[in-house]
Homo-oligomer: A and B are copies of this chain.
Amino acid sequence: MQTYFTIDCVVYSFYEGNLQVLLTERNEYPYKDWWALPGFFVDKHEEMEDAVKRISYELTGLKDIFMEQLGAFAGVKRHPQGRILTVAYSTIVKYDDVKSRVRPVTDYMRQAQWFSVKELPELAFDHNEIIEKSLQKLKTSINYSTVVYEFLPEKFTLTQLQQVYEAILNKPLDKRNFRKKIANAGFLKELSEVQKGVSYRAARLYKFDKRKFEKTFAVE
């Protein structure tokens, strides 16, 4: 007994204070003209991770992006033509790296577009449910993972970092307490550089120090 097998990608970025998800407009039945997560059939000899990389690359032009498996969705009724098992992955890209490059991947999809997670349309299949689950996971893993840094450029300000936290947790945070906590964690390297091109006091730039992070979370 065999089943069709696809992967779907929840591609996130951060823009204008909001978490954004990349959706594509379907050009085929079922759900023609509906918005949906970008997804595909996985090739016979292709690893799932490679399929995700392939889709993400074709959509955004980027390689080496954050990628995490969310789980399998295989409800018998999720697809009108019988079970299609999908494995959902979430990926995160830096908006600036991508903004002008986003485009649909195949003829199956018309346009590709960013949507704020706060204003999602009704999506094809069980895709709203997949995104819901993915957001939940983002939230709970924020303190134990490097996801926040995946949204930011290499050098970032503390305010930008706080905004990403706020977007994921969907609530405002106190600036001083936030900074204390971040300073305390000790994962950031303070640079001597400051922000450029702003018409107000320029903020100091920081880098995420992966080594220090791994030391803290090392299993003994």
Which A residues contact B (CB, under 8 angstroms)? 1-5, 41-48, 69, 71-72, 74-76, 83, 85, 87, 140, 144
Q: When the two chains form their complex, are residues A71 and B69 in contact, meaning their CB atoms are under 8 A apart?
A: yes
Residues A1 and B43 in contact, CB atoms below 8 Å apart: yes
Query: In the complex, which of the residues B46, B72, B140 contacts A69, with contact meaning CB atoms closer than 8 Å?
Result: B72
Shortest Cβ distance from A144 into B: residue? B140
Are A5's CB and B85's CB within 8 A?
yes
Query: Are A44 and B5 also in contact (CB < 8 A) when A72-B69, A144-B140 are?
Result: no
Check B140 against A76 for contact (C-beta < 8 Å). Answer: no
Extra contacts besides A5-B5, A69-B72 (20): CB < 8 Å: A1-B5, A1-B42, A1-B43, A2-B3, A2-B4, A3-B5, A3-B42, A5-B74, A45-B76, A45-B83, A46-B76, A47-B74, A47-B75, A48-B72, A48-B74, A71-B71, A71-B72, A72-B87, A85-B85, A85-B87
CB-CB under 8 A from A69, the residues of chain B are: 71-72
Known: A140-B144, A144-B140. A1 touches B72 (CB 8 A): no
A43 CB contacts on chain B under 8 angstroms: 1
Task: Give the complex CA separation of A143 and B48 in angstroms.
Answer: 31
Chain B residues closer than 8 Å to A144, beta-carbon distance = 140
> Are A83 and B1 neighbours in the complex by a CB distance under 8 Å?
no
In the assembled complex, the CB of A78 is this many whole angstroms from the nearest CB of chain B, namely 10
